[in-house]
Amino acid sequence: MYYMFFMYIYVFMYCMYMYVLYGFYVYVLYVCMYIYGFRYTQKQEEKLNFEIVKRQVFSACKNLGIKQMGTVKLFIDFFYWYYGRYHEIFRKDHKNLKTVSIEGVISNIMSFDDIMYDDEPIEVLKMLAEKYFTCQFSSRTDYSITHFACPEILQNRMFETML
Asked if 36 and 85 sit in the same domain, the reply is no
pLDDT in tens, 104-117: 999 999 999 988 89
Asked if 80 and 155 sit in the same domain, the reply is yes
Tell me if 56 sits within 8 A of 99, measured CB to CB.
yes
The residue type of 62 is K
Asked if 149 and 89 sit in the same domain, the reply is yes
| Residue at which a domain ends, from 29, 44, 59 | 44
Does this model's pTM top 0.75?
A: no
Asked if 69 and 142 sit in the same domain, the reply is yes
Asked if 79 and 110 sit in the same domain, the reply is yes
- Total domain count for the chain? 2
Residue 65 — left, alpha, or beta (φ > 0 → left; ψ -120 to 50 → alpha)? Answer: left
Asked if 94 and 15 sit in the same domain, the reply is no
Q: Is the pLDDT of residue 44 over 70?
A: no
Asked if 12 and 90 sit in the same domain, the reply is no
Q: Is the pLDDT of residue 31 over 70?
A: no
Residue 10's pLDDT is 62
Separation between Cα atoms, residue 71 and residue 79, nearest integer Å: 12
Residue 128's pLDDT is 95
Asked if 76 and 14 sit in the same domain, the reply is no
Asked if 133 and 148 sit in the same domain, the reply is yes
pLDDT in tens, 106-150: 999 999 998 889 899 999 999 999 999 999 988 888 999 999 999
Asked if 110 and 58 sit in the same domain, the reply is yes
Angle at 152 between CA 149 and CA 157, to 5 degrees: 75
* 101 pLDDT tier (thresholds 50, 70, 90): very high
49 or 152, higher pLDDT: 152
Asked if 31 and 60 sit in the same domain, the reply is no
Residue 114's pLDDT is 86
Domain span including residue 9: 1-44
pLDDT in tens, 2-27: 556 666 666 556 655 655 656 665 55
Asked if 84 and 109 sit in the same domain, the reply is yes
